[in-house]
Amino acid sequence: MNIAIWILQGVLGAMFMMSGTMKATSEKSKLAVKMPWVNDYSAGMVKFIGVSQLLGGIGLIVPWATGILPILTPIAGIGLALVMLLAAIYHLGKKEYNAIGINALLGGLALVIAIARFMQV
């Protein structure tokens, strides 16, 4: 079980770190080509979302791997699940139903990590 959770942490952490880095460092106009939702938010908010995802992705891996404040790993999982819940609510309001599935999957996996690691703290 621990190996499966580690694999999930690594894959999900890498996905959030890549996505977050892209949002935090790219210009809003470039992001809008593939992510039209950024047009509804300020550049600062898009960067904030990106930094949140980047830090959450790091939080899924580093604290548990180093043993330094491992409680931060399940907290990061809850934070990322919340980010995905808010994204799903946004997409629901825009009637972008296909995006909700991705949000639900990623949020659900982050929640699985949070629960599994809370049980081991």
Q: How does pLDDT run across 74-87, given as a tens digit for each residue?
A: 999 999 999 999 99
Look up residue 84 and give its two tokens. 């995905």
The pLDDT value recorded for residue 64 is: 96
Average of pLDDT values for 44-51?
96
For 72, the 3-state DSSP assignment is helix
Average of pLDDT values for 91-106?
94
For 74, the 3-state DSSP assignment is helix
For 26, the 3-state DSSP assignment is coil
Number of domains in the chain: 1
Quick count: other Cβ atoms within 10 Å of Cβ 66? 9
Banded model confidence at residue 60, pLDDT cuts 50, 70, 90: very high
Quote the mean pLDDT of the chain.
Answer: 96
Q: Give me the amino acid identity at 18.
A: M
Domain that residue 9 falls in: 2-118
Quick count: other Cβ atoms within 10 Å of Cβ 34? 8
